């Protein structure tokens, strides 16, 4: 049984941002006022701010739209036949869950959660996933090829997310190598999403990829403070009638479509498209290597395995598979 069942039923009632009395909520969720009180306490433990005011009842700090399993699977249409959709209200991390469960779960399992309590980012960082702030999902894809063939996968997922943004009519979205989704405003870049891919299996024959996607949705000030680079959410860039349920469907559809294509073609097929979306095309950048070494120069090309060809300020060229990029 979902231990957050009543908490999320309570949340559904409160999601309009208005006051609701304990009695009214209890009636609506067919439970007692004590259960409502406990549910509110439980919501607070997972970072949901609920105000209690005497004689008025409970109210959320702000209106919020919760992901809804039925709405998502309905909108997935025909694709839902091929997907094993798993839905959580609260989970530690959708990636950690699929990493543990990958052997027991079918190909094309999609895990969605409203809240992650220990969301993971790349390079050991955390991914902030409070209610309503971030869209978080992981996809399990079982490849018939080994991990050595998948080095361009994370870049390809970046392309899928950029295509999804185009479908949603969100302009000025670019990719920062390897797969950050960035919003360009004047010449400034703001992170709006990222991809964390974890592989299980062997290098040569077959392997499972857990593809974790996080998109900043409603970036509160407290969220922005916790992110170590300029960031933004996409909510402000969308018309108010676009729901998070619709957004996750658009992302999942684009990712599925590109994955089927990536199984048949390697990264070289997608390379030109990635270069077109490169946020740092022809820019002077600084690059921090895994050993901490800092180099200055330009990305001049991409290799078929997704690594960059970097030309430093002295004109020396180098192929780089892992590094962090920033503007000079």
Closest contact distance (angstroms) between CB of 116 and ligand BTN is 6
Write out the binding residues for ligand BTN, residues 244-303 only, by CB under 6 A. none
Closest contact distance (angstroms) between CB of 130 and ligand BTN is 12
6, 86, 129 from 89: Cα distances, Å? 11, 10, 12
Write out the binding residues for ligand BTN, residues 119-148 only, by CB under 6 A. 119-122, 125, 127, 136-138
Write out the binding residues for ligand BTN, residues 37-66 only, by CB under 6 A. none
d(CA 288, CA 298): 13
Closest contact distance (angstroms) between CB of 204 and ligand BTN is 27
d(CA 282, CA 298): 6
Closest contact distance (angstroms) between CB of 52 and ligand BTN is 31
Residue positions counted in the chain: 328
Nearest CB to ligand BTN, comparing residues 42 and 113: 113
Burial of 283 (0-12, 13-18, 19+ CB in 10 A): middle
Q: Interacting stretch for ligand BTN, rule CB under 6 A, among 52-60, 112-120, 218-226, 309-317?
A: 112-120
Closest contact distance (angstroms) between CB of 33 and ligand BTN is 35
d(CA 83, CA 93): 20
User: Which residue from 35, 42, 102, 116 is in contact with ligand BTN, where contact means CB under 6 A?
Assistant: 116
User: Which residue from 39, 42, 93, 208 is in contact with ligand BTN, where contact means CB under 6 A?
Assistant: 93
Write out the binding residues for ligand BTN, residues 197-226 only, by CB under 6 A. 212-214
Closest contact distance (angstroms) between CB of 251 and ligand BTN is 11
Q: Token pair 């999609």 is at which residue?
A: 110
Nearest CB to ligand BTN, comparing residues 25 and 209: 209
328: CB partners within 8 A, 6+ apart = 284, 285, 286, 296
33: CB partners within 8 A, 6+ apart = 22, 23, 26
Nearest CB to ligand BTN, comparing residues 29 and 285: 285
Closest contact distance (angstroms) between CB of 314 and ligand BTN is 31
Tell me which residue has its CB nearest to ligand BTN.
194
Q: Look up residue 71 and give its two tokens.
A: 């709405």
Residue 94 within binding range of ligand BTN, rule CB under 6 A: yes
107, 176, 292, 310, 323 from 286: Cα distances, Å? 39, 13, 12, 10, 10
Going by their DSSP bridges, the two strands 84-91 and 109-116 should be labelled as: parallel
Binding site for ligand BTN (CB under 6 A): 93-95, 116, 119-122, 125, 127, 136-138, 180, 194-196, 212-214
């Amino acid at each position: 049984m979902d231990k957050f069942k009543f908490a999320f039923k309570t949340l559904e009632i409160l999601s309009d941002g208005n006051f609701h009395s304990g009695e009214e909520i209890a009636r609506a969720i067919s439970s007692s006022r004590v259960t409502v009180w406990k549910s509110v306490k439980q919501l607070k433990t997972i970072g949901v701010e609920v105000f209690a005011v005497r004689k008025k009842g409970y109210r959320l700090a702000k209106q919020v739209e919760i992901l809804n399993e039925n709405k998502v699977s309905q909108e997935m249409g025909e694709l839902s036949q091929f997907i094993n959709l798993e839905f959580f209200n609260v989970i530690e991390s959708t990636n950690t869950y699929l990493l543990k469960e990958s052997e027991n779960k079918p190909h094309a399992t999609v895990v969605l959660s409203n809240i992650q309590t220990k969301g993971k980012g790349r390079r050991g960082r955390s991914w902030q996933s409070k209610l309503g702030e971030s869209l978080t999902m992981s996809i399990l894809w079982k490849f018939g090829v080994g991990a050595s063939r998948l080095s361009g996968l994370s870049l390809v997922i970046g392309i899928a997310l950029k295509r999804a943004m185009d479908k949603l009519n969100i302009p000025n979205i670019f990719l920062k190598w390897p797969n950050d989704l960035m919003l360009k405003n004047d010449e400034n870049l703001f992170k709006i999403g990222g991809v964390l891919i974890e592989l299980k299996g062997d290098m040569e024959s077959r392997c499972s990829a857990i593809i974790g996607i996080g998109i900043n949705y409603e970036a509160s000030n407290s969220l922005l403070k916790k992110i170590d680079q300029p960031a933004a959410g996409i909510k402000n860039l969308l018309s108010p009638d676009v729901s998070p349920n619709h957004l996750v469907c658009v992302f999942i559809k684009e990712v599925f479509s590109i994955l089927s294509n990536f199984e048949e073609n390697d990264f070289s097929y997608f390379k030109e498209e990635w270069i077109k979306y490169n946020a740092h095309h022809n820019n002077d950048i600084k690059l921090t290597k895994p050993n901490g070494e800092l180099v200055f120069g330009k990305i001049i090309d991409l290799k078929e395995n997704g690594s960059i060809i970097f030309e430093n300020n002295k004109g020396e060229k180098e192929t780089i598979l892992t590094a962090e990029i920033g503007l000079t």
